[in-house]
């Protein structure tokens, strides 16, 4: 699977976990060159507290487009050390 936005590959891996229609990529596959800070936080009833990253690609900002669970609840352990994308990021084979 590959995640792309604004003409660049953000992450690529053969080892994604599909949860609720979202592919969670290994955190190590995330191209940190395009990642910037976000202080956005949300909470999922069964996965726990989510943190976010923004993307900065070719001068364009995509705020809060990447999320992850730093310390997921036990039933969501499969998303630990993984990131997922939204807000226009294309994910596909």
| Residue for token pair 């726990």 | 48
Instruction: Look at phi and psi of residue 48 and say left if phi exceeds 0, alpha if psi is from -120 to 50, else beta.
Output: left
* In the chain, % of residues over pLDDT 70: 100
Q: How far apart are CA 27 and CA 68, in angstroms?
A: 9
| pTM of structure | 0.96
Where do the domains of the chain lie, and which CATH numbers do they carry? 2-92 (2.170.150.40)
Mean pLDDT score across all residues of the chain? 98
* φ/ψ (deg, to 5) at 37: -65, 145
Residue 33 pLDDT level (bands cut at 50, 70, 90): very high
pLDDT at 51: 98
Averaged pLDDT, 2-21: 98
Residue-level pLDDT at 87: 98
> For residue 8, what are its two tokens?
């660049």
């Amino acid at each position: 699977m590959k995640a792309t936005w604004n003409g660049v590959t953000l992450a690529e891996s053969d080892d994604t976990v599909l949860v609720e229609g979202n592919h969670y990529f290994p955190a190590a596959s995330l191209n940190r060159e395009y990642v910037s800070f976000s202080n956005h936080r949300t909470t999922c009833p069964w996965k726990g507290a989510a943190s976010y990253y923004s993307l900065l690609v070719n001068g364009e900002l995509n705020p809060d487009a990447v999320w992850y669970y730093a310390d997921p609840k036990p039933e969501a352990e499969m998303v630990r050390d993984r990131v997922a994308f939204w807000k226009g990021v294309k994910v596909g084979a």
